[in-house]
Structure 1
Amino acid sequence: MQKEMAELSEVYERLRGEIVEGTFDAGANLVELALAERYGTSRTPIREALRRLEQDGLVERGDRGMRVRTRSPEEILEIYEVRIALEATAASAAAIRHTDLDLIRVRKAQSTMDAVSPEDPTTMMAANRAVHEAIWAAGHNGTVVDLLSRLNNHLTRYPATTLESAGRWQEALSEHHALIEAIESRDSTHAGELARAHMTKARDLRLQIYRDE
């Protein structure tokens, strides 16, 4: 059983990684037999990995079985409609419920982000997400954290980062610092407003990137 679980985990991570990296194009059919041959495994872990990836929002059912989920501006709007609301909720909750340890973790994550080179998109994305995740955790609402994590899975199918848009990196850093100050001051209303504005800008930039692709 342990060996089977390890095999499933490996197949899931490899397939997920290739979907996120764009090895499989949006809309590409994911045939179990072909994938089993590609990864040197049986169809059982492939089938289970596809099921998990469907839950993650990375694959969907098409006319000929499972396929990489397609991208669209409508989907971007749907994702961000929910994410904007949840990020505002998380920030407001963090302002009310944070502990001293939560603040230490948020500040540490932001300090790490401040030191990142704007010429390294992968590290930029990871550092930015770490700050957001620290804020989510400071709100002490597991349901909100779970939902935001799932929404982020959907956005991984859009590989370009909004943080590379002209002037956005420095702007995002400033917005983060203002948000953290509001959280530290326990100003839940202002924290929610800042988070909402921050994510609204991200939505608009994401749409612009999609149009320019």
Structure 2
Amino acid sequence: MKSVYDELRDLIVLGAYPAGRPVAEQELCDRLGVSRTPVREALRRLESDGLVRAARRGVTVVELGGKALLDAYLVRASLEALTADLAARRQRAGELSPASLDRLAEHADLADRATRQGDLLAGTRHNRAFHRCVAALADNPVAFGVLDRIWDQIVVSTRASLTAPGTPARPVRVDDEHRHLIAAITAGDPDAASAHARDHVLATAATLSDQPGGEPE
């Protein structure tokens, strides 16, 4: 059974409460069928996660923009470089199973297929699954947890941009970047894996100057 915190986090990340929207405590209590105490505790955690901020009668869903959003991408780039490095080191040490690498490739396949078919919401979901898989292969729970929180902030803050026109060649480059990262991890090459992961996220951050937000890739 999900906790009130998990339920509220899902509602925000999945878009039930869009960025910038104020949300009253009583509305959340009514929706979840719980009292104010667990809702307030959950909102305090979500505020520390950077997903909401206190408002007069509840909270407002945080929307990162400008420098704050770029900062989130820069931190993500550093952490994903670290997790890719660690995953490649584990592969070199013989600690990763062929099945785990197959799952990584499968997530990349699903992300590419959904994006090419124009289903950007599904593409974003599979993109995140791909990157979470890399982080899981690194076997560093601290990095995994911080990355998850940063991804939440980016997804919430860039959801509106998913319907904005993007560069047509970008989905092709995204898939190429994913494949290079998979190849480096599979080869057990930490330096190459780290560089590919960092460059991939920074390439996404570079699109922020071309359109509002930027699709998380």
Task: Report what 1:193 is aligned to.
Answer: 195
Q: Aligned equivalents of 1:146 and 1:32: distance in 2?
A: 26
Task: Report what 1:90 is aligned to.
Answer: 83
Higher Cα Rg: structure 1 or 2?
1
Q: Aligned equivalents of 1:23 and 1:168: distance in 2?
A: 29
Per-residue Cα deviation, 1:44-71 (whole angstroms, up to 9, x for no partner): 2321231232233210135665322243
Task: Report what 2:180 is aligned to.
Answer: 178
For the structure 1 residues 184 and 15, does the alpha-carbon distance in structure 2 shift closer, same or farther, using more than 3 Å as the test?
Answer: closer
Task: Report what 1:109 is aligned to.
Answer: 107
Letter in 2 for 1:33: Q
Percentage of matched positions with identical amino acids: 30
The 5 A counterparts of 1:69-80 are 69-80=62-73
1:37 is displaced (CA, Å) by 4.5
Task: Report what 2:97 is aligned to.
Answer: 100
For the structure 1 residues 69 and 173, does the alpha-carbon distance in structure 2 shift closer, same or farther, using more than 3 Å as the test?
Answer: same
Contact 1:162 1:205 in 2 (8 A): no
Q: Aligned equivalents of 1:33 and 1:161: distance in 2?
A: 31
Q: Point out the more displaced range, 177-186 or 158-167.
A: 158-167
Q: Aligned equivalents of 1:162 and 1:141: distance in 2?
A: 34
The 5 A counterparts of 1:1-213 are 9=4, 13=7, 16-18=10-12, 20-21=14-15, 23-26=17-20, 28-37=21-30, 41-62=34-55, 66-98=59-91, 99-101=96-98, 102-118=100-116, 119-158=118-157, 159=159, 160-161=161-162, 165-166=166-167, 167-210=169-212
Give unmatched runs, 5+ long, in structure 1. Answer: none
For the structure 1 residues 48 and 110, does the alpha-carbon distance in structure 2 shift closer, same or farther, using more than 3 Å as the test?
Answer: same
For the structure 1 residues 128 and 15, does the alpha-carbon distance in structure 2 shift closer, same or farther, using more than 3 Å as the test?
Answer: closer
Is the partner of 1:61 in helix, strand or coil? strand
- RMSD of the TM alignment (CA)? 2.9
Contact 2:17 2:61 in 1 (8 A): no
Give unmatched runs, 5+ long, in structure 2. Answer: none
Letter in 2 for 1:30: V
Letter in 2 for 1:169: P
Letter in 1 for 2:15: E
Q: Aligned equivalents of 1:187 and 1:19: distance in 2?
A: 34
For the structure 1 residues 197 and 103, does the alpha-carbon distance in structure 2 shift closer, same or farther, using more than 3 Å as the test?
Answer: same
How many pairs align? 205
1:207 is displaced (CA, Å) by 4.3
